[in-house]
Amino acid sequence: MTEPRNPGMSSMPQTAPVHTDSTSPAVEMDPVEYTLRKRLPRKLPKRRNDVYVNMKTEFRAQLARCQKLLDGGGHREICVHGLGLAINRAINIALQLQASSQGALQLAANTSTVELVDDLEPEDPDEAGEPMTRTRNNSAIHIKVFYPDPQ
C-alpha cells in the first residue's frame, strides 16, 4: 500500500545495504515549513504464528494472544517481532511466556535494522517547497519462542 505513493523507493533493490547515517542527505528545512509524516514500516511477512508487538495494544492482551497461539493454536513455535520502542515489550512477552512454561519454551532472538521512510510535505503549497522523503533506521528484534525438539 505504500507502493503507489512512493515509486522511487519501491524500485530500490531490496538487497541494498542499509546505511544509517549516510543515506539521508542533510535536508534543509528552512524557509519552507514541512509536515513530517511517518510512514508505516514497509511490508512485513505475516504467518499465523507471527506476532507483531506494538505499543498501542494492551500488554496483557498481546501476551494472552501469544499464549493462546502456543497453547491452543497448536503452534510449536511463534515469532514475536518488535520495532523500536516495542522491542522492550516484545522481549517482555517472550520472557513471560518462557517463565510461565516452566522452562519448556526456548527463546532465540535475532536483531535487525528496519529502514523507515518519512514524508516531508510542505505546509504551504504556494511556496516552492517540494515533497521530500527521508529515510532513517530503527532497530528491531525477532524472537522465536519455541518448544525444543526432543532429541
* Interacting residues with another protein (CB under 8 A): 1-3, 14-20, 40-48, 50, 52, 54, 58-60, 63, 77, 79, 81, 83-85, 87-89, 91-96, 99-100, 106-113, 137, 139-144, 146
Q: How far is the CB of 72 from another protein (least distance, A)?
A: 16
79 vs 120, beta carbon nearer another protein: 79
34 vs 146, beta carbon nearer another protein: 146
| Upstream peptide bond of 41 is cis (omega within 30 degrees of 0) | no
87 vs 120, beta carbon nearer another protein: 87
> How many angstroms separate the Cα of 91 from the Cα of each of 79, 85, 120?
11, 11, 33
Q: How far is the CB of 85 from another protein (least distance, A)?
A: 7
11 vs 15, beta carbon nearer another protein: 15
Q: Which residues contact 49 (CB under 8 A, 6 or more apart)?
A: 69, 73, 75, 77, 78, 79
Helix or strand (DSSP H, E) at 70: helix 59-71
